[in-house]
Chains A and B, each alone.
Chain A
Amino acid sequence: MRSRDGNYSFSLSVCTLILFYSTLLSADEYLISYRYTVKDATLYSETLHVSKAMKKCSGIPQKELVLDTNEQDDLKKIISDNAERFIAYIHNLAMHVKHNETTINSKNTFTTILTLQTTCFKVDFNENFARIAPLK
Chain B
Amino acid sequence: MKYSIFLSLLLSTSALMAVETIRDGNTQVMSEPTQKVIVDSPSVACPETEQLLTEEKNIRISVTGQGVAPMNTTSPAQAYALAKRAAIADAYRMIAEKVKGVRVEGQDSIQNMMVKRSSISTSVNAMVRNANVVETTFKEGLCEVEMEITLSHSQFAR
Contacts and interface: CB of A to CB of B under 8 A. Distances in A.
Given A96-B127, A101-B122, A112-B92, A38 B132 contact: no
A135 interface: no
B151 interface: no
Interface string B117-144: 1111111111111111100000000000
| Interface size class, chain B | 35 or more
B89 interface: yes
Nearest to A101: B122
B120 A84 contact: no
Given A43-B82, A97-B126, A101-B123, A38 B90 contact: yes
B85 A112 contact: no
Given A36-B89, A38-B90, A94 B129 contact: yes
A44 to B, nearest CB: 9
B149 to A, nearest CB: 11
24 contacts: A36-B85, A36-B89, A38-B86, A38-B89, A41-B90, A42-B69, A42-B82, A43-B82, A46-B85, A84-B81, A91-B131, A95-B128, A96-B126, A97-B93, A97-B95, A97-B125, A97-B128, A98-B125, A99-B97, A99-B123, A99-B125, A100-B122, A101-B121, A114-B88
Nearest to A112: B89
A54 interface: no
Contacts of A46: 85
Contacts of B124: 97-99
Contacts of A102: 119-121
Given A84-B81, A97-B127, A105 B117 contact: yes
Interface of chain A: mostly helix, strand, loop or mixed:
strand
Contacts of A12: none
A60 interface: no
B96 interface: yes
Interface residues of A, number: 27
A41 B67 CA distance: 5
Interface in B78-114: 81-83, 85-86, 88-90, 92-93, 95-97
A13 interface: no
